[in-house]
Amino acid sequence: MANVTKIDGSSEYDIQVLNESHIAQILYLQETIVKNLSDPTSYYAEPTPFFHKQIAIENSVLGLFQKKQLIGFHIASFPGLDEENLGTDIGIKQEELLQVAQVGPLAVHPEHRKRGLFSRLLERHLQVIKEMGYKHVCATVAPANYPSIKGFISNSFAIKQLKIKFNNLLRYVMYLDLESNLERPKYSVRVLGADTESQKFMISLGFYGYDVLKNENGFDIILGRDEIKV
């Protein structure tokens, strides 16, 4: 991929592939993000060795810069047949697990949020992942993290599972098929975002989350499926 990608031709922001020289900036940005969390469970702070490992993988770590200052980063990993492959959580066939890429963490500095930068960074990495020949993309998101849920759903991801994942945290498992579009389901139900037990039940019946809508007290998850068996 190109070393630098401008966002909408703007000179203010650009996206670059990161290398070892950026480790200190990544860690500083992560520390800033963690200090500003309203919900400590919404972001898992990765240890330093994780970033060294990911940067050694081609096209794994993208950085978002504003005038040479790192204000965001996005990680893609390629788990292969490792037990942490999220494809196993959502029923991807064994023979297709090698076609699974995973995205996250994705982080943007608090002062630069609500500018569409989350989606821009994600879109760029999805383009790279598709060019690399991957078909399936998975991610995990905290159920209370509305901005991230909205960002992924806006990029055609669906909520396919809700379960305890890494570091014993409850997470949505989000899924995107790079070879087909997510169609609007025939049947749908609206569930409070905070009602994770009802969401788990609906997912167990074959429903998947395809939209998220704000309400007076937070947000609702919209789940759907194409058939209802009676």
Every domain of the chain and the residues it spans: 4-182, 185-230
4-182 folds as Aminopeptidase (3.40.630)
pLDDT single digits (tens) 10-67: 568 999 999 999 999 999 999 999 999 988 888 889 999 999 999 999 999 999 999 8
Give the whole-angstrom CA distance, residue 52 versus residue 89. 27
Query: How confident is the model at residue 7, as a pLDDT?
Result: 57
Give the whole-angstrom CA distance, residue 107 versus residue 117. 10
Chain mean position to CA 199: 19
The candidate with the shortest Cα–Cα distance to 58, out of 133, 154, 139, is 133
Query: How confident is the model at residue 181, as a pLDDT?
Result: 87
For residue 94, report the phi and psi dihedrals to the nearest 5 degrees. Answer: -50, -40
Query: How confident is the model at residue 2, as a pLDDT?
Result: 42
The candidate with the shortest Cα–Cα distance to 141, out of 102, 184, 98, is 102
Query: How confident is the model at residue 220, as a pLDDT?
Result: 98
Query: How confident is the model at residue 1, as a pLDDT?
Result: 44
Query: How confident is the model at residue 9, as a pLDDT?
Result: 54
pLDDT per 10-residue tile (average), the chain, 230 residues: 53 89 96 92 92 95 93 96 94 96 93 90 95 96 94 96 92 96 91 97 96 94 82
pTM here is 0.90
For residue 218, report the phi and psi dihedrals to the nearest 5 degrees. Answer: 155, -110
H or E element in which residue 122 lies: helix 117-131
Radius of gyration of the chain (CA): 18
Task: Using the CB atoms, write b or e for 156-185: b if 16+ within 10 Å.
Answer: bbbbbbbeebeeeeebbbbbbebeeeeeeb
What are the distances in angstroms from CA 23 to CA 135, 137, 205?
29, 25, 44
H or E element in which residue 174 lies: strand 170-177
Query: How confident is the model at residue 6, as a pLDDT?
Result: 58
Give the whole-angstrom CA distance, residue 120 versus residue 116. 6
The candidate with the shortest Cα–Cα distance to 37, out of 134, 142, 166, is 142
The candidate with the shortest Cα–Cα distance to 195, out of 211, 177, 179, 217, is 217
Query: How confident is the model at residue 41, as a pLDDT?
Result: 87
Query: How confident is the model at residue 200, as a pLDDT?
Result: 98
